[in-house]
Amino acid sequence: MLCLRAIRPFSWRVFHFRPFSFEPLISQMNNCTDEEQIFGLIEKNKSLLSEKQVGCALNMLWQFQKQKTSSVKNVDCVRNHPQFLTLCNLATTKMGFMSDSTLVNVLYIIQQFGIEAHDSLVEALVTEAWRRLERFDVSVLSKFSSCLADQHLHYSPLMGKIADIVNRNLENIQDLRSLSVLMVNISSLISQCFQEKLVNKAELLFDTMDSSQVNTARRIVQFLRNIRYRYYPLLERCNKVFLSNMNHLDLDSISKILSLYYSLQFHSFEFILMTKKRLTEMIPLFDHPASCVKLFVALGPMAGPEEKKQLKSTILLMSEELTGQQTLAVMGAMEEMESRNSRLIKKITSILHKHLDNYKPVELLRITQALIFLHFQSKELFVRLRELLLSYLKVSVIPSEISILVYALSMLPSAHLDEVRMSQIEAVLPQCDLHDLNIFAASVLRCIQYDHMYLDNIPGKQLKVLQKLDHYGHQRLQECKSLNLLWEEVKSLKGDWFADSLLEETVVTLQRLMDEINYINVAGIASFISRTNYLSTSLLDKIASVVLQQIEKIHPFAILAIILPFSTLNYDPPQWDEFFGTCIQHLNSYLSVLDPLVLVFLGYSLATLQYFPEDLLKTIFNIKFLARLDSQLELICSSLNMKVQFRLMELNRAVCLECPEYQIPWFHDRFCQQHYNKDFGSMNGAQQQIYKMLAEILGGINFVKSSILTPYYYPIDFECILDKRRNPLPYGSHNTTLEKLPKIQLESNTQIAGSRLPPGAEKIALEFLDSRAFCRNIPHLKGKSAMKKRHLEILGYHVIQIPHFEWNSMALSTRDARMDYLRERIFGEGKS
């Protein structure tokens, strides 16, 4: 369409009649109150209309549409009106006389009225605009780029030309509104260097923007989402614009902003809190399916019990009116809400079933994941899903699409793939990136597990595909020459195959490319390390070095992610005091701005490292802060809610034990009593072995306690008491066995362990440490286990930790060897 056409007849440009004065007609158009009046003027004056009058008429028609709500818009009626066709014909003959702004505005309006991209008028307007492109000012250029984006021409040579013009003229652009439009539309084509230039320019111009320009701020966030760059300074400033204009934001704007924030993993407690209030006010205002679905998706995950009930009732009432896409959106929101409303689940899935044939592969995957998460069982639906997925798979040739289809198939109850499908996977592996390889691996492993359990057979083809996955994964890592490209592929990788087959090679590759770590990617790399539990001292040292050198360029919001691997993996870098001090100093001015959740996690991470900054702790252990935290806990899912409460309890415990001088009270008795009364675990096989051996070594079951709680509610596996001569002391009749778990007393549980013992006696805590207590690659104790040992010692215990790799080693393969090992750990050498 965009190829330059043959020379057109130009006689109409040379001999066109132009009226002496067109102002009165334009004034008449501006005074019109509906479309029919405009069309009446066109019919009377069509032989006299100038290019300006054509542009004015089209503009008025579009203004009338913009003033209408979606339910009363009549775009089709306007487009099919005979005088609209007359306007289009006049636009074709007069475009050569149009100004740049009129030309592009006509193109924009024509497209808004649904004229297809292949229409001759649209093609002619685009061609004429291309011819003038270099002379367009920035506002006209931005509008033209939006016209191309509406035609899905993001990757076209013409959009590339626009990107080049923006790059050459960036220093002279002063209009952030127009620039933000261009940033979004050219984002698919530009280099990382150009991306950074645009981000810097947007930041520079931000203060020139009117604080009411919500759409400009939203487009900046959209640009950051498009280039996958969580640039906190700009996000923070855009967020302030949204907050200051919250009362003017409509449902559509709020939905878009929430979606963008979710994609960027940007969290703003204030925005969510105000959004919840604003959306809750909108509940009675909507009775149209499209609006109700949008409200359900936006408000549902953060709504309170009453609001959720109201939203679900509304969706249930109008469920039969929902389109396929609306039903899919509702299903996704129900998954995020962790809904267990069986009636609504059944109704929504029945409507999904009706539309199933119309969904794309990625949508079928979303449906499959949601059905599994919501524990919905329907043999008929799963059979149809499998048929559809297989039909797509048979004709698909795109690796990413094939990986999606195979992954969805592997999640279904009958997770079996025949040899033909395995061959199809094998054929596309050389074209796959690490993300696709990881998806294929997870799928194949599920199929192997299913075949082993239900068919009692593992086809050799599946094992061959797994071997090839390993080969191509290692090959891709070894050939990688850019940290940024590597990071795009590995940042979301997880699962058994990645951990077992590729993690070590990935860390080696990161070490090879670690000179490319900088203030932009340092937080992401740190998050990856903490998530994988792989201790690489060289990588952590590099992260600490980058932070010390470039701290002024690192936003305080990123500090938690940077500190996390040091805390999780229990590692102090060189100059650790300067490193942590610099991080905390950088945070201090933001303590009142950071989300409560972030501060709790930050305080806990630092406490794990025996770092207790007073300003941070005074901020957290404050009535106003805890009230804000309670408000935020109401907005998040139950699993994250519980995790935050546990981290606050653990931080409270750490401060009470390690910093009593701060005089922060212990206020988690009730929380711990409720939790441990409901859930105080049973022993695994190794712990049961150790319990029986301890009873034999110490002189009977009344000399050892199992599965008990210490002061401040630390659960420990076993406890015994030795007198000053290292002889065991009995507990009497209060021993706790596996069948009889400890009853928690309701009074404060904070007494130091040795305070009621005979003089010289010592309480011993024995802990069996499984693989979760250690780094993945070396037997190095992780931060949480190290902190527990430290705290138990403060409480008066002598702590004996029994690592799983020692207990299960060849040296302790016999019962006698294990008995000797326990005696030596408890009594020391020479004690029998």
State the SS3 of 262-326.
Answer: HHHCCCCHHHHHHHHHHHHHHHHHCCCHHHHHHHHHHHHHHCCHHHHHHHHHHHHHCHHHCCHHH
Please tell me the distance from the alpha carbon of residue 532 to that of residue 492, in angstroms, as a whole number.
11
Coil, helix or strand at residue 705: strand
Element holding 267 (H helix, E strand): none
What pLDDT, on a 0 to 100 scale, did the predictor assign at position 16? 42
Please tell me the distance from the alpha carbon of residue 396 to that of residue 408, in angstroms, as a whole number.
14
DSSP state of 746: S
What pLDDT, on a 0 to 100 scale, did the predictor assign at position 758? 84
Task: List, in sequence order, the alpha helices (H) in 723-809.
Answer: 783-794, 804-807
789 C-beta neighbours (distance < 10 Å), count: 17
Please tell me the distance from the alpha carbon of residue 670 to that of residue 120, in angstroms, as a whole number.
74
Closest CA to 530 of 491, 484, 556: 491
Task: Evaluate whether 804 touches 686 at the Cβ level (below 8 Å).
Answer: yes
Please tell me the distance from the alpha carbon of residue 331 to that of residue 329, in angstroms, as a whole number.
5
What pLDDT, on a 0 to 100 scale, did the predictor assign at position 458? 63
What pLDDT, on a 0 to 100 scale, did the predictor assign at position 48? 83
Task: Evaluate whether 776 touches 534 at the Cβ level (below 8 Å).
Answer: yes
Task: List, in sequence order, the alpha helices (H) in 551-622.
Answer: 559-568, 576-587, 596-608, 614-620
Q: Please calculate the CA angle 236-237-238 and round it to the nearest 5 degrees.
A: 95
Please tell me the distance from the alpha carbon of residue 241 to that of residue 234, in angstroms, as a whole number.
11
Residue 715, strand partner residues: 709
Closest CA to 732 of 758, 705, 756, 702: 702
What pLDDT, on a 0 to 100 scale, did the predictor assign at position 743? 42
Parallel/antiparallel/unpaired status of strands 762-769 and 797-803: parallel
Coil, helix or strand at residue 478: helix
Please tell me the distance from the alpha carbon of residue 426 to that of residue 437, in angstroms, as a whole number.
11
Please tell me the distance from the alpha carbon of residue 312 to that of residue 78, in angstroms, as a whole number.
38
Separation in Å, CA 114 to CA 45, 126, 524:
25, 16, 43
Q: Which residues contact 780 (CB under 8 A, 6 or more apart)?
A: 535, 569, 570, 571, 774
- Please tell me the pTM assigned to this model: 0.86
Please tell me the distance from the alpha carbon of residue 540 to that of residue 570, in angstroms, as a whole number.
11
Please tell me the distance from the alpha carbon of residue 205 to that of residue 203, in angstroms, as a whole number.
6
Burial-class residue 28 by CB neighbours within 10 Å (0-12, 13-18, 19+). middle
Burial-class residue 600 by CB neighbours within 10 Å (0-12, 13-18, 19+). buried
Please tell me the distance from the alpha carbon of residue 150 to that of residue 124, in angstroms, as a whole number.
16
What token pair was written down for 1? 């369409």
Please tell me the distance from the alpha carbon of residue 603 to that of residue 560, in angstroms, as a whole number.
9
Phi, psi of 803 (to 5 degrees): -65, 145
Task: Evaluate whether 513 touches 485 at the Cβ level (below 8 Å).
Answer: no
Please tell me the distance from the alpha carbon of residue 146 to that of residue 727, in angstroms, as a whole number.
83
Check the CA dihedral 93-99-102-103 and report its sign. Answer: positive
Q: Which residues contact 308 (CB under 8 A, 6 or more apart)?
A: 300, 337
CA dihedral 501, 507, 510, 515 (to 10 degrees): -160
What token pair was written down for 124? 């002619």
Coil, helix or strand at residue 147: helix
CA dihedral 6, 10, 11, 15 (to 10 degrees): 170
What pLDDT, on a 0 to 100 scale, did the predictor assign at position 71? 57
Q: pLDDT averaged over consecutive 10-residue blocks of the chain (832 residues)? A: 40 40 75 89 87 91 83 79 90 92 94 91 94 95 96 94 96 96 96 94 92 93 95 94 94 95 92 94 89 94 91 92 94 90 93 94 94 90 94 94 95 85 93 95 89 68 91 96 92 88 95 95 95 96 96 94 97 93 92 92 96 94 94 89 96 96 94 76 80 92 90 92 91 47 40 64 93 95 97 95 94 94 83 42
What pLDDT, on a 0 to 100 scale, did the predictor assign at position 832? 39
Closest CA to 385 of 418, 411, 347, 421: 411
Closest CA to 184 of 154, 229, 140: 154
What pLDDT, on a 0 to 100 scale, did the predictor assign at position 4? 38
Separation of CA 651 from chain center: 26
What pLDDT, on a 0 to 100 scale, did the predictor assign at position 675? 84
Coil, helix or strand at residue 667: coil
Task: Evaluate whether 290 touches 322 at the Cβ level (below 8 Å).
Answer: no
Q: Which residues contact 256 (CB under 8 A, 6 or more apart)?
A: 218, 222
What token pair was written down for 378? 């329907």
Please tell me the distance from the alpha carbon of residue 804 to that of residue 801, in angstroms, as a whole number.
10
336 C-beta neighbours (distance < 10 Å), count: 16
Tokens 């404050």 found at: 622
Residue 739, strand partner residues: none
Task: List, in sequence order, the alpha helices (H) in 97-231.
Answer: 100-112, 120-132, 138-150, 157-169, 176-186, 192-205, 214-226
What pLDDT, on a 0 to 100 scale, did the predictor assign at position 457? 64
What pLDDT, on a 0 to 100 scale, did the predictor assign at position 72? 59
What pLDDT, on a 0 to 100 scale, did the predictor assign at position 338? 87
Closest CA to 489 of 501, 497, 477, 479: 477
What pLDDT, on a 0 to 100 scale, did the predictor assign at position 448? 86
What pLDDT, on a 0 to 100 scale, did the predictor assign at position 430? 95
What token pair was written down for 585? 């100093």
408 C-beta neighbours (distance < 10 Å), count: 25
The amino acid sitting at 408 is: A
What token pair was written down for 771? 């693989």
Separation in Å, CA 682 to CA 138, 509, 673, 708, 725:
68, 41, 17, 11, 33
Coil, helix or strand at residue 706: strand
Check the CA dihedral 12-14-15-18 and report its sign. Answer: positive
Please tell me the distance from the alpha carbon of residue 345 to that of residue 339, in angstroms, as a whole number.
8
